Chain A
């Protein structure tokens, strides 16, 4: 029999890892919600974030937490470039062209990184990696706890940005009615640069956070992209806030099922939960309407 304290531990560690899934999912949801483009390379921008952090740490000794802004800005810039050079050209193209374009990005980024950094697993050893907090029977690794709070902070900051700034309101306006946005004097093209930049930037922060407590690899994006897709569909297509909550739900599902069933089946269980929810509520947990 599994003790209650194990379950509590699993739930808490699920919440912590889930908050990273949330960030990757939020980025995907933002791009999807605003442009109606499914970015298959989302996980690979996340990987780039992880490698920015790795190299900043290895070459310059920058603490991974300090590289959060760096990771965001580098991938934001790459995202804007991607939008201008690639996505813009397929925005009004058939969906197959969009899928092909973002899949090509996936291949270029993933195997470009593998060619540049080598096909090896890398690890950052932060000085505080083994600091453990105990709350009753629950024990937490400091890097994971920090990752959770950074993720929460990024999500809250993003929410405030969307709700209170002119640019944030304009982004939401573009997602709801592109033609009306033009007529309000909103530079829709620029909004798309910003959306793609922020979208991949937020996911890259997820990569940075993961790098503080898990090994990283040029092909790591595949796993996280898959999770991000569940998160987005689960949270209601294009709903950025739904994505945050469902990321955590997926994290908890995984870690609890690893405890009760088998660690090797944890992703299978997450997918089963996903299928079950979609059968019952096709618009996702927090989706209210079909786009």
Chain B
């Protein structure tokens, strides 16, 4: 029934069902969760997407929309009894209007290609996740992606002005518009970051920003990670508004030097990259002030790149840190918690302590300007129980973020990875409201079901087992062990290798 419905929409070559064809879609960048869907369809037009959603709704088949599959929280993990709607062929930039500073793109358009198309007009698209050369705008929108430069320019949400959307029952709606200032309730703002559970954005109107007249970047070195964190707090307190402020620790520096070789200072414990941009008359003066702050904050070395090529290399070292960590360890978990930026030093010291206590190496690369941590917890998946031990440490770091008044995710989203932690950050009423919203928008519960919230039956099961139990890493893992009663409900299986 499902396949014949899909066959009415797509030619056979664009419906994938064989094991080999499905394999690349089994997981996204969170590779510890895998599931094989019933089929993957490769959409080439928005009409096909709408028809597919309508067919899914008619047949009660859940779907997952997928762009480039770079989610770090398992956002595009397939549903076993459902299908994947691949949007990466819908990658056109439909319109670019420099005078209005807008671009209209399809959901599969690649983030950095939007900036590339805008560059001849001295404009760029601000959100810059580290995966920007491959990640899609549709995925950025669904997870409210951030990036190093969102410190000044805001998250994806601040750059999405409007969208044509297909709701989970196939109804089409338009949200937002072209103006940077909406009128009426901010429906578009609610849709951004809804993790695919409110439908699929088919055409997205983006805000472009004018490129700065001057960009100045400085790299500073520190004797400890905590010292670097405190220096970041001092830059903020000095009233400077950097466009980006990033910190890497020794392990992350080592990984970067092992792969892209950015040429960072040798033998240091931590480094910070701070970037200012704006009018040259202002930036050149502020840069002097910044150097003074850094020197006063205990920097052991302060270095400005010689030219644009070196600046780009400094950034490449930072942006490729996640993949470079593969040079240090076969597997890792990347966390995304946020702490108040004044408590950064404290949070980093605590991560160091936890790392020692658990005997697990943790590399740190993070957005210091907004307190968004990215501890990379290194482990060897082939070792019995190593993933679970790494997850336990990850969980403790997330709880620390909540305890310090922060958040469990700054920019990667909840999806599979952190759904057991949402109830630790929010109260029952808060989560019930989110669930009510989801049920109202998608009564059939077919759009990316299983993400953000623990399945209700699992919740009930956990509660029945131990009403006071805090979510364990096993709960994060979905059905890590054999499910109680032995029946698999089609949940994703854990890949413990």
Bound together: no
